[in-house]
């Protein structure tokens, strides 16, 4: 039996999530059951999914009652790393958007550097 893991995130902006999934090389689909190890399918469908054809596994995002999304994926190290990469891109993009709203930073050239990457 395949085991899917749910990770609660602070992701709440669907448009930015979709952009980040695409930037990570994932194909975005809606309303699908996500793929796990060896072709297993999750028991539920997800409103947003990032499909990784290279790994033949997906990330599924379900809306939680608090307005944030929970990321679900098969318990696999490579897929977990991919989820972390998407979350990191999302956090960077949100930080840039917040900085752009701060008075005096509009139009500022901001570079984001990630330690070790």
**How far is 6 from 27, CA to CA, in rounded Å?**
20
pLDDT interval class at 9 (50, 70, 90): confident
Tell me what pLDDT residue 13 has: 93
Reported as a single tens digit per residue, the pLDDT across 55-111 is: 999 999 999 999 999 999 988 889 989 999 999 999 999 988 887 777 665 555 555
Nearest to 48 by CA among 73, 68, 74, 18: 18
Reported as a single tens digit per residue, the pLDDT across 13-55 is: 999 999 999 999 999 999 999 999 888 999 899 999 999 999 9
Tell me what pLDDT residue 76 has: 82
pLDDT interval class at 117 (50, 70, 90): very low
Tell me what pLDDT residue 1 has: 44
Place of tokens 């098969």: 74
Tell me what pLDDT residue 98 has: 81
**How far is 68 from 66, CA to CA, in rounded Å?**
6
Tell me what pLDDT residue 60 has: 95
């Amino acid at each position: 039996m395949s085991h899917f893991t749910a990770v609660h995130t602070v992701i709440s902006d669907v448009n930015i999530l979709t952009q980040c999934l695409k930037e990570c090389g994932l194909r975005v689909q809606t309303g699908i059951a996500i793929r796990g190890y060896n072709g297993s399918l999750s028991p539920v469908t997800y409103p947003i999914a990032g499909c990784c054809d290279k790994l033949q596994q997906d990330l599924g995002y379900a809306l939680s009652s608090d307005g944030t999304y929970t990321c679900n994926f098969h318990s696999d190290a490579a897929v977990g790393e991919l989820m972390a990469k998407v979350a990191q891109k999302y956090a960077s993009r949100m930080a840039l958007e917040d900085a752009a709203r701060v008075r005096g930073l509009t139009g500022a050239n901001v570079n984001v550097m990630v330690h070790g990457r």
